[in-house]
Structure 1
């Protein structure tokens, strides 16, 4: 009887641990290319989350700056993530991202709930989220790569 109880106990413990890990590692959904963006690929990194739309003129001039920033951050545990303000999906999202020549990941699913980002009705808007998933700064208006790098440096205490 004791052996059976230990086996059942280990099985229950294993199932609970698996469920907890699965809940902590919820994926981000697909990107603009339909590829799954895993939690492991973004968790533990600083995120620069930018909301953009096709009708937003400042967004068009900001995107090249964000492309440059993504390139500059490759080895610094930080990523640029885009979110389409109009919630485009599938082929529409890919077409819009391609028309802007976006070279960073654009999420098809809005991560606002995950990071408790406040809704903003002005574009562009950029949020800086730390490696623990905590919102650290909200920046309204067009940003530059150099300016965002300065914000990151200050927030990281460097």
Structure 2
């Protein structure tokens, strides 16, 4: 159910070349005191690291060591009496790098100014570049929300909104692409590339861009992880033979992808908890019913969680998903989802009778249109 001169960056980011990064964060948010607490969270060596600090007259401090400049979040927890919205949005991104980093705000940490270090400055620079696009996106959302349901369904209005949205996305990608080219030796260049690529990277476009990043960035922990993701993306690109897998159906019976060879198969990644997936299910049901007697079927792969077997089965029944379903109930660590480089849902892959991937991420009418094209 998804941030600027090259020579100073080269000189002042030794951590990416192998040195340890010793950071100190000094925060100040108004005059807040305990029981409000500050939390620092980041990933290192594949694990989530969390540190905490108390506030005294709004001040707090963190200090530690990481292998390389690392993206983190600093958040405030106001306690169990505060709303989930407040506790969930009081956060700001910070890059852990050598030296002292200041995080200051007169009231809310989500509006804090972050200063100190090259990566944090580059992050601020990128935020400035993207700010006009954020404003355009907010204006478009405000326009959408101001309309009634009937007005939103007007074909001319809807087409105009989609065209404006597409233009914003295009312009944002242009900003990101230029930023990537200007920051080949920076962790921010890699992060901009990841945003540019989105949830469904095109290997043929993104791999060459990744290769323009300096070796120290490519060999960083984040760089190695993204390179591995790109290889998984390559394995499930259009034209590739879909990787085989076996998972259990709701009754615990193993089901293999190979058993569907000889048919057109839509591998459909979804979950009972995923609102957009559930909203898309009627379109999949319609396509399935139209083509199930024409050598076509669907194989659902659920990203439901351990202990959610009954919710998974109920969603299958409620949404009339009469095709085969499998899952290992491992949430985002679902083995097939990882194998297919899936990090957002809904997502799908259409296979021909030989097991070759011929289309991806077909939504709504596009699924039926593609089936009409390939199934005569």
Could you list the per-position Cα deviations for residues 96-121 of structure 1 after superposition, in whole angstroms to 9, with x for gaps in the alignment?
423444222112357849xx963122
C-alpha separation between the residues in 1 aligned to 2:275 and 2:281?
A: 11
1:138 aligns to what? 360
Structure 2 residue 281 is the aligned partner of structure 1 residue 63: yes
2:371 aligns to what? 152
Structure 2 residue 251 is the aligned partner of structure 1 residue 46: no
Distance 1:36 1:73, change over 3 A: farther
CA contact 1:52–1:125 (8 Å) conserved in 2:
yes
Structure 2 residue 316 is the aligned partner of structure 1 residue 97: yes
Q: CA deviation at 1:48?
A: 0.8
Distance 1:64 1:108, change over 3 A: same
Q: CA deviation at 1:139?
A: 0.9
SS at match of 1:51: strand
C-alpha separation between the residues in 2 aligned to 1:87 and 1:31?
A: 14
C-alpha separation between the residues in 2 aligned to 1:149 and 1:111?
A: 28
Aligned residues: 127
Q: Please report the RMSD computed on the Cα atoms of aligned residues, expressed in angstroms.
A: 3.2
Higher relative contact order (CA 8 A, sep 6+): 1
Query: Normalization by structure 1: what TM-score?
Result: 0.61
The gaps in structure 1 that reach 5 residues or longer are 1-25
Q: CA deviation at 1:92?
A: 5.2
Q: CA deviation at 1:132?
A: 0.8
CA contact 1:33–1:94 (8 Å) conserved in 2:
no
CA contact 2:273–2:304 (8 Å) conserved in 1:
no
C-alpha separation between the residues in 2 aligned to 1:133 and 1:112?
A: 16
